[in-house]
Structures are given as structure tokens and as C-alpha cells.
Amino acid sequence: MQPINQPAPGGDDLNVKPWPPIDDALALRIKDMVVETLVGSPGSLDMALEITRQALQWADQLIEGFESVNPLPRPIVCQAGCSFCCHNQVELTPPEVILLAQVIRQYFSPAKLERITEKILKIATFKAGKTREELAASRQERPCPLLEEDKCLIYPWRPLMCRSMHSLDQEHCRQSLAAGDLASDEHYLHRHTFTFSIAGGLTEGFGTLGCQTATLELTQALGDALLEPHLAERWLKGEQVFRKTSA
């Protein structure tokens, strides 16, 4: 695989390849890891959380390993304090939501947990029923609720979609955010392939175990998970615990 520098497919062109790109072999490995680990103990929340954490770590290792042996034609300009992509709408899998909720409950103080939960619910209420275009137009004023002082509060556990986001042109990010548009930027395909393949593997694996697997919007789903203390256990039992993502 070579680094590919291109915009994401879009529009009505029927000749573009399906997006996101998926490495079937990688997705299958993740699926098998989930099924083989949990099939004998499907209700083990600790094991489900650990598998999800390992999947996130694996994504980082694949990206770092690939880029260590494949010099990139152009540098990735993302850096600490750069938070343009943290204003985008983030979608993620149910196990990622379950992990985030567990991390927030475990590591945030009671006061901080209450404040962040209130913030999440307020933004989720604003987003309800709005289209992607409507949300994009207002995203400058409403970044991810887990962003504070241009820093991600849960960076080591951030979703796979966040791990896929990167830019080769910081000025494009700045202009896109200011304009409130959804214009694609140039990117390296391997980062999307690794992260979306792992997300697909998690989805297939937990789906095989009977868990709800529909793609979720971060703010709404995380609000649900934080409000319902036993949501994770119910999800592992096969209940439909997450609401359908808004349009």
C-alpha cells in the first residue's frame, strides 16, 4: 500500500469507489478477535471494554508503523492546540461509546462529570432533527463537547473516526470552519482505511454476538450512555439501547 493523496469521494458520480475504504482482511481479524474473546462470556463488560481499547490502540500502531516506513510526500499539519476537526460531526460504533462513557465516569471528578454531562445533553438537544448541512453551518459555535481550551479531554480514547481525521493544509481547515461548509480536504487514504476497517470489524464482531451495531452520532449516544448507568450491560445482552442517529 502506498500513501494516496486525494479528496474523499462525493457528489453523484456513480463511478467513485465506495467510501470509506475497507481492508477486508483487517476487518475480519478484528471481528474474529471480538467473537473469539467474548463468545464464551458474552456478558463480560470488562472484556468488551478491553477489546475496544485494544482496537483503538491497534489503529494507532498501524498508522505509526505504516508511516515509519513510507515517507509521506507532504507533511500532516495537525498539531497540539489545532482543533478545527473537533468541530466536525463525529460518528462512532456502540462499543466506542460504551468505552468513552466508562472512561468519563472513571476518570472525571463528580463535579466535572456533572458539568460535561450537562454540556453534552445541551448540544444533543440542539442537534436533534437537524441535517448535516445545518449542523455544519453552526459548527464553529458548537465544537465537540469533549473539547476544552483546544484540547481533547479523552484523547487516548478518542473514536476511530477522530483518529482518521488529518489535514495537509491548515488554512483549508480554517476557511472551511469559518464558512461552515463540508468541503473535503486532501488526505492520506491509509489512515481512513486502517480506522474504518477496524470500526467495521468491531461492528461485525459485536453484531455476531447479537449487539446493536448501528452507527451513532457521538453527542446523542454519549448522552444516552451517561444518563443510563446500566446501558452497557443491556447493550451486551442484545437490547436496542441507542436511539437512531438524526438525519
Q: Where are the domains of the chain?
A: 19-236
pLDDT grade, residue 65 (50/70/90)? very high
Does 40 or 189 have the greater pLDDT score?
Answer: 189
Residue 131 confidence (pLDDT)? 83
Q: Is the pLDDT of residue 138 over 60?
A: yes
Residue 181 confidence (pLDDT)? 76
The C-alpha atoms of residue 75 and residue 217 are separated, in whole angstroms, by 30
DSSP conformation letters of the chain? ----EEPPP-TT-TTSPPSS---HHHHHHHHHHHHHHHTT-TT-HHHHHHHHHHHHHHHHHHHHHHHHHS--SS-----TT--GGGGSPPEE-HHHHHHHHHHHHHHS-HHHHHHHHHHHHHHHHHHTT--HHHHHHTTTT---TTEETTEETTGGG--HHHHH---S-HHHHHHHHHHT------EEHHHHHHHHHHHHHHHHHHHHTT-----EEHHHHHHHHHH-TTHHHHHHTT---SPPPP-
Q: Which residues neighbour 155 within 8 Å (Cβ) at sequence distance 6 or greater?
A: none
Q: Is residue 70 left, alpha or beta, with left meaning phi > 0 and alpha meaning psi from -120 to 50?
A: beta
The C-alpha atoms of residue 187 and residue 164 are separated, in whole angstroms, by 10
- Which residue, 92, 34, 74, 103, is CA-closest to 170? 74
Q: Is the pLDDT of residue 2 over 60?
A: no
Does 100 or 3 have the greater pLDDT score?
Answer: 100
Mean pLDDT is lowest, of 42-46, 71-75, 200-204, 217-221, for: 42-46
* Mean pLDDT value across residues 229-235: 95
Q: Is the pLDDT of residue 62 over 60?
A: yes
The C-alpha atoms of residue 91 and residue 161 are separated, in whole angstroms, by 7
Q: Is the pLDDT of residue 21 over 90?
A: no
pLDDT grade, residue 134 (50/70/90)? confident
Residue 128 confidence (pLDDT)? 85
Q: How far apart are the first and last CA of the chain?
A: 35
Q: What is the pLDDT of residues 90-128, one digit of tens each?
A: 999 999 999 999 999 999 999 999 999 999 999 999 888
pLDDT > 90 in the chain, percent: 67
Residue 20 confidence (pLDDT)? 65
Q: Is the pLDDT of residue 186 over 90?
A: no
The C-alpha atoms of residue 153 and residue 158 are separated, in whole angstroms, by 9
* Mean pLDDT value across residues 28-38: 96
pLDDT grade, residue 178 (50/70/90)? confident
Q: Is the pLDDT of residue 247 over 80?
A: no
The C-alpha atoms of residue 144 and residue 39 are separated, in whole angstroms, by 35
Instruction: Compute the mean pLDDT over every residue in the chain, rounded to the nearest whole number.
Output: 88
Residue 245 confidence (pLDDT)? 64
Beta-bridge mates of residue 188: 5
pLDDT > 70 in the chain, percent: 89
- Which residue, 116, 179, 177, 192, is CA-closest to 148? 116
Q: Is the pLDDT of residue 246 over 80?
A: no
Residue 8 confidence (pLDDT)? 43
